[in-house]
Structures are given as structure tokens and as C-alpha cells.
Chain A
Amino acid sequence: MSKSINLTLKVWRQKGPGVKGRLETYHAGNISTDMSFLEMIDVINEQLTKDGKEPIAFDHDCREGICGTCGCVVNGRAHGPEAGTTLCQLHMRHFDDGDTVVVEPWRSRAFKVIKDLIVDRSAFDKLIQAGGFVSVNTGGAQDANAILIPAEVAEEAMDAAQCIGCGACVASCPNASAMLFVGAKVSQLALLPQGKPEAAKRVNTMVRTMDALGFGNCTNERECEAECPKEISITHIARMNREFLKAGLTAGEK
């Protein structure tokens, strides 16, 4: 049943990178529990605009949990309290009347704040550019059914491939590690025959790039897995570690 609730919001406001930010308090009144969290911010922003103030800057696009654009830390948890849910799919029925809700950007050395709740996640693009691909040019591919892949292998690769690159894993990790993000891509391509020829090179360059970009290391906290909106398992990190070890043993692949 739809009903209305009143909330106190404490939202991180920061004018730009390198500028000191702070939590501002806003009253969110008469919020329908059928609203999504981002629609609730829309309502606040409409009010701020009418009051002659600058609205809260936040990243969002598809609002159906697949583009990976949105994401904030809500009450200390990446994408808020619901498991397996992006912020845009989090609905206000999961909050109670009178709650205080603290909203902050992702925090990590590799993700600098651009403004308010928006951070720079271009480090993720650099990781994929380093090796998160199969080197095939357009044209000349063999018939799609010439490569046989057992259904369960395709399924496991798909489990890893559904990463939306939102950055929640980094934001929730005490070390700000990107191991789940990199592990998911390395694992997907290591499972599939198409990814095998470059497997050693891929894992080496991606891990090296991850370190260079300022991401921390993995100490098996499992926070990434707990907060990942696509519930990607840390077994993919384990597979990446095995791939890394294997690559180290392979002569000629540094």
C-alpha cells in the first residue's frame, strides 16, 4: 500500500574537486513510499530550484538498474540498505517515517569527487582499455556456432559479465580495491574459449593498471560482494588470482 513519509536528509554538498565539502540538512516531506530514491531527490531538487538554490548534483540515467550511472552511499551502505539493488531501484517503502538518511558520494582515492554526489570513475574505463577485451577486429569472425560453449560455462561467464561498472565494490571496500570489477572481467573472458589466447597478458596488464590507478588490494573483507547490485560473487576474484598465478608461471608473459 502506498503511503507518505517524512524524512530528514543529510546530503554531501561539494562545489568541486579539491574544495572542502559538508553535509547539508534537508527536510523531505510527504514522500510517497512508491517513489524511487532518485525520484525523492528529484522532489528535493525541484524545491531547491524554486527556492532559488542550486539543486543537488547526482549521476543517474536509465533508472532501471542497468546503466551503472547512479550510486551513492546511503546510511553508510553503497546503493542503500537493499541487497542486489541499485540506488535507482531502491524504493522509499524501505524507509520509515521520521528516519534520518545520510547521502554521500563514493569515497576512494581513485574516484575523485567532481561535484556533490558525482565522482570521476574514468579509472574503470582505463582498466578495460588495459585489457578487458578480446582482440578481434570487425569482420572475418567464424560462424557463431563454430565455437561450442557448454551452457553452464556460458551461464557462469554471464554471472560475471553482468557487472554494470557502478563502483559500489570500490566504495564499500575498506581498501578501496577494484578486485571485484577487474575479477569479473578477467573471469568472464578466462571462462570463455574466445578469451583464452590473451588470458595471461590480460590479467597481467589489468592487475598492473589497477595498482597504478591507486586502487587498494584485496584482504577478503567480502564487502564488495555484499553490496554489489548484481550480486557478483568473489569466486571471480579467486579465478582472477589463479589466472594471475598461472600467468606468472607462463614464460614470455611478463
Chain B
Amino acid sequence: MTLDAKIPGGPVAEKWDRHRFELKLVNPANKRKFTVIVVGSGLAGGSAAASLAELGYDVKCFCIQDSPRRAHSIAAQGGINAAKNYPNDGDSIWRLFYDTVKGGDFRAREANVYRLAQVSNNIIDQCVAQGIPFARDYGGLLANRSFGGAQVSRTFYARGQTGQQLLLGCYSALSRQIGLGKVAMFTRREMLELVVVNDRARGIITRNLINGDIESHAADAVVLATGGYGNVFFLSTNAMGSNVTAAYRAHKKGAFFGNPCFTQIHPTCIPVHGTYQSKLTLMSESLRNDGRVWVPKNPGDKRPPHQIPESERNYYLEEKYPSFGNLVPRDVASRNAKEQCDHGKGVGDTGLAVYLDFADAIKRDGHDVIAKKYGNLFQMYAKITADNPYETPMMIYPAVHYTMGGLWVDYNLMSTVDGLFVLGEANFSDHGANRLGASALMQGLADGYFVLPYTIGGYLAGITPAQVGTGHQAFKDATQATKERIHKLLTINGNRTVDDIHRELGLIMWDYCGMGRKDDGLKLARTKIQALREEFWENVNVPGSDKDLNQSLERAGRVADFLEFGELMVVDALHRRESCGGHFNEAFQTEENEALRDDANFCYVAAWQYQDTDKDPVLHKEPLNFENVELTQRSYK
């Protein structure tokens, strides 16, 4: 099978317009004959479900939470980018496109990124029209702030709760369609299988998380918007329920997985503090607008921060990267924090933290201005750590946050399974090897509001509606497989809990496939994961029944998939003989310890095809052609 990204011809700035014209349309009266399943109700899924229903399609939307408003998009803090150039500081669609391609370390598809930058402006218009209370200046115009990897202010925000406000906007649009009867909403449902008939996605199998019913749902197209896989590391900034299951089930049914080793370690999180810890908490990157990152100059200096004089502090980001300073991209900031701690300059009890200091900003702007910008973040920090960041610097350390890898999709956001579309963090497409801050919200909403509603029409216009019903043998087979798997999980009756095994997997991934990777470590990780997977299927203990709300069973199914998926990440990391963005193999670095790419041999998307759990996956390559942005060594100096 050859990968065809279906990138339209012509200059990059004209591709999307041209493609929209060339896409086939579905007659308004025929739209209601098509059923579309949307799995996930975050920014990508919620916006897609609402927009498709507005167009007239019959939509079924599924989420694992008790309400679509709880999807993990809600936790995004800092903001959303758009190329509005309202501050008059030189921004443009082209600059947002350029910054994103460069920020992604030249491993994203140019045509997709350009389209993302183009529709970014529509997103802000749409969100304001929905009544989202973005921050404003006193004249009543929208306010902007800066984020990493850019030298312009293009980030729109609603205090430190931008994700929440954008999600509630999209949830309100979705709720309106539910109220109108155009979307059937299924909450507390988990997709456990994709149903494929004659190489086309035709539906899904779900488990009703309240009563355990296994349900079949047929459709003319399936849209996955199920988020990222950061929880493979156990400790991450993801919500507890975030998982790879829907995407991985689709992968097993033929959807290729793109660049699984591209994971983002976010630089500003609250450090790990105990073995019982269940998750890590992110502190928005926006804090780096005013906070200064430093460590003591002398390794092992354990004095409290206020006793360390200015001359004995090392503001390492400002020194090393004078033009971007504290606002370097996330991968660069994270690696530098790790480097300082590796040199023994880490602070706090564990030595795995650096300071993020607001003293200068408070002296310059006053307590109230800083409180207005970051009040809720400071409060959150104080609640968790019992330290007051107005008086003492925050302690931060990198943590797993976002996954750039995901199911491979073409320009239409369709996977290698016809009729299966993948949106938002669940796909691989727009961020390359590193995502810039405030770009995840932009991509989720771009995919759901402004890309999929067009491209799915192009697919549906070519098929006859309602050809396969839930009575088809494929649904019966998938149902049977799902039930057998659940039965197996409940009857192992071993000695280890699901969380215990998940925690062990997370440590393997963090130690060997985290911020710094080495060949021998990756090889060791692979055998460790295989052994742990074997142990899981012999020795896990899942209490309770399948006919009931059973949270242990839910977690067990997800961890079982992580135990297979983790190995795929390691395989991908091993094969990529270069460093780029979030993938940093210590054997490939510049003299200044920056990621060293190998454009001659690895300028491609690695799309993996599933064979069997015991067989190696097959690698397919989508070459990346850079016609508009010159491939260079990234520099933020």
C-alpha cells in the first residue's frame, strides 16, 4: 500500500480554496440520509458534531465522560493562536505557518499547516460569536499575549482557562443541536471496536459504562476525536480517563499510526513529589511571558532561593537564547531544564526542579497586574504545593503533556481506512515533532469547525447511504470479540492491580522513551514492555462485574492497549536515526546539544501498519516536501 496524502496542487496559499471547490458536495436534502458517528466531544469532536448537525447530517456523538462538557480540552490554560495581527506587530498567515513548521522541527506537512494558519482567524470570529468571554483591552477590543516559539503576540485567552471557555462554547453549540434532535448524544460510552466492512469504516462497538451493555452503532462514516496517548507514561498532565484505546483499536483494524514517538514534554509543570501521585499538573506556558527561569550557578547549592544572590543565579534560557529568552519552544525549554538538573543544579527536595521567578515582574508591574494575568494559576500552584508564588519562586519540572503522533490522515483528515476520519490530538498531522503553545486548541477547532465539514462531504458524496446495518456479521464478530476480551480481563484473578502495572509501564516509558533517548535504553524498554504485557495477561486482578459500572474494568482495558501501544512508540523511536523536536536521541545532537536532524534520510512521516501483537509492525513512509519553508537547523538564539 502506498500512502497518498492527497495534497491538492498549486501554490500553498491557494490549495485549500481550490480543494474546497473541487470537493464533491452532498445535496442539502440528502444530508439527513447520512449518519456520521463522532467519538469524543472535546474541541475537535464537539465542534465537528455540532457543525455536521448544522449542515443537516444525522450525527451520533459518544463520550466516556458523564457530559460532553468534561472532555480534557477543558484543562487547556494559556490560549489559542490566530494570525489576526490585531497588535500590529507583524503577524500574518504566512508567519503563523512558518513559525508552526519551524516549531515542529520540519516534520509536519506544509499544506496542512498552511490551512491551519488560514482558518485560525475564522475560529476566533466563531468563538466570539458564541459568546466566549475572551480577555479584552479597555477600549473593548480583544487582548493578545505571547507564547513560546513566536516573536509576535498572537495568543487569545480567557484568563488561565481558555480551553474551558472554548470547550464550553463548542459544548453550547453541540447542546443546541442535541436539543434540536439533530445530534444523538451518548455519554458514559466507551468505543471498544471499530467495525470495518469491505475496507470501509461502518460503525463502532461501545460499552455502556453504567450497565455494561455492549452496543452496536452503524454509520456511513466514523470520526475519531479521542485525544492523545500521554497517559501511556502513567504520570502526565492528561486527565485520568484519557487513553489510546479508540485510536489503537482503529489501528488494529487497518489505520496506520503516524510518528508515535513524537511526544511533548511540557517544561512548566509542578514537580513529582510522592510515589502515590496520580497525575501531574501543568502551569501554563503563558507564565513564561513574565516569569524568569533560573537555577543556582553552583551544583548542590541547597540554600532557599531568596538567599541566593543575583550573581550566583544562572538564568540559563536568557543567556543561551538571547532573542527568544524564556519563550523558547517547549522541547527546547524542557531539555534545558533536564540538562541543568543532570548537572546537579536542580532545586527542591528531589533536585528535579528549576525556579520560575516572578519577583522582577511583580516589582515592575505590581502585584495586581500579575494577579490579574495569572491569578488562578498562582492559586492552583499554592493549593497543590502550599507555597505562595507571589513571595517565593515557583518550582517547575517538565512533564508529559501532549502527543504530536497519532493516526495518520491525508489532507482530508481521512485515515488509511476509508470513511474513518481522525481529528485533533488523535491525528498526527499539523505539529510535526513539537507543538508550539496555544496551537492545540487552534488545531482541534480548525479540524472540527472548518476542515472536516467540507472534506467529509467529499467522501459521503461518493457513497450510497445506510448500506450496512448493525445486523451485519461484522458487527456480530466485533461484539463477540469485545465480550471475550472483557471476560478474559475479569477472570485472570491475579495478584497485581491495574494501576500497579500501569505505573510500572509509565516508569519504563519515562526512563527510556522520555526526554532523552538512547538506543540501548530503547531496546531494553522493548523487552521490559513485552514482559510486563505478558505479566498483565497472567497476573492482573480486575474486581467486579461486566454488568455494572466498573471503573477497574475500564482502566484494565485501557492499560492493556497502552501495553501494546508503548512498544510501538519504542519501535518508532528506535527506527528514527535522528533527533527532532520532542524526539531526542542522545546520539544525534549538535555541538550545542540541540536536536540534530537527518533531512537526507528521515524527512518523512513514519506511518506504522499493524500486523499482529507478536509481529513487528510494517513501516510506510510519507515523504515531506518543503517547497515554501527552507529546511534549516532551528535556532532560537
Contacts and interface: CB of A to CB of B under 8 A. Distances in A.
Interface of A: 2, 16, 32, 34-36, 38-39, 42-43, 46, 48-50, 52-55, 57, 59-69, 82, 84-85, 89, 91, 93, 114-115, 118, 120-122, 124-125, 128-130, 132-139, 141-145, 147-151, 154-155, 157-158, 161-162, 164-165, 188-189, 192, 194-195
B536 to A, nearest CB: 15
Interface in B108-156: 122, 124-142
Interface stretch (B64-72, B195-203, B527-535): B64-72
B633 interface: no
Contact of B125 (A2, A135, A142, A188): A142
Contacts of B449: 138-139
Contacts of A150: 136, 138, 140
Given A46-B499, A62-B239, A145-B142, A189 B131 contact: yes
B239 A67 contact: yes
B164 A39 contact: no
Contacts of B379: 84
A62 B74 CA distance: 9
A250 B47 CA distance: 34
A189 B133 CA distance: 9
Contacts of B552: 49, 55
Given A121-B66, A133-B173, A144-B84, A67 B72 contact: yes
Contacts of A158: 133, 158-159, 165
Nearest to A165: B69
A161 B168 contact: yes
Given A35-B274, A68-B69, A46 B140 contact: no
B133 A93 contact: no
B383 interface: yes
Contacts of B473: none
Given A115-B548, A134-B129, A148-B139, 4 more contacts: A32-B274, A69-B65, A138-B47, A138-B173
Interface stretch (B88-96, B275-283, B480-488, B508-516): B275-283
A55 B67 contact: no
Contact of B544 (A54, A82, A120): A54
Contacts of B86: 145
A144 B125 contact: yes
A63 B380 contact: no
B492 interface: no
A67 B70 contact: yes
11 contacts: A36-B384, A42-B276, A49-B541, A66-B161, A69-B65, A124-B67, A134-B130, A138-B51, A145-B86, A150-B138, A158-B165
Nearest to B127: A144
B199 to A, nearest CB: 31
A144 B165 CA distance: 16
A155 B372 CA distance: 10
Contacts of A161: 132-133, 158, 165, 168
Contacts of B336: none
Contacts of B549: 57, 114-115, 118
B497 interface: yes
A199 B276 CA distance: 48
Contacts of B497: 46, 49-50
Given A64-B380, A114-B549, A39 B277 contact: yes
B179 interface: yes
Nearest to A161: B133
Most A CB contacts (10 A, CB to CB) among B70, B135, B163, B386 go to B70
Given A68-B70, A194-B128, A125 B384 contact: no
Nearest to A142: B125
A155 B143 CA distance: 12
Contacts of B127: 144
A110 to B, nearest CB: 14
Chain A at the B interface: SS class: loop
B283 to A, nearest CB: 10
A55 B499 CA distance: 13
A12 B240 CA distance: 23
B136 A151 contact: yes
A192 B380 contact: no
Nearest to A64: B281
Contacts of A157: 131, 133
Contact of B133 (A89, A118, A121, A192): A192
A61 to B, nearest CB: 4
A239 B500 CA distance: 50
A15 to B, nearest CB: 8
B300 interface: no
A55 B551 contact: yes
A162 B279 CA distance: 23
Given A93-B386, A141-B128, A149 B69 contact: no
Contacts of B178: 125, 129
A144 B140 contact: no
Contact of A133 (B163, B172, B277): B172
Contacts of A148: 139-141
Contacts of B130: 133-134, 136, 194
- 6 A-B pairs closest in CB distance: A148-B140, A129-B179, A133-B172, A141-B129, A141-B125, A144-B128
B126 A53 contact: no
A144 B154 CA distance: 14
A186 B384 CA distance: 32
B318 interface: no
Nearest to B278: A39
A118 B197 CA distance: 38
B25 to A, nearest CB: 15
A38 B541 CA distance: 21
B358 interface: no
Contact of A34 (B131, B138, B274): B274
B316 interface: no
B67 A149 contact: no
A229 B47 CA distance: 27
B493 to A, nearest CB: 9
B75 interface: yes
A54 B168 CA distance: 35
Contacts of B279: 63-64
B210 interface: yes
Contact of A67 (B75, B175, B274, B541): B75
Given A115-B548, A132-B175, A34 B273 contact: yes
B622 interface: no
B66 A64 contact: no
B70 A57 contact: no
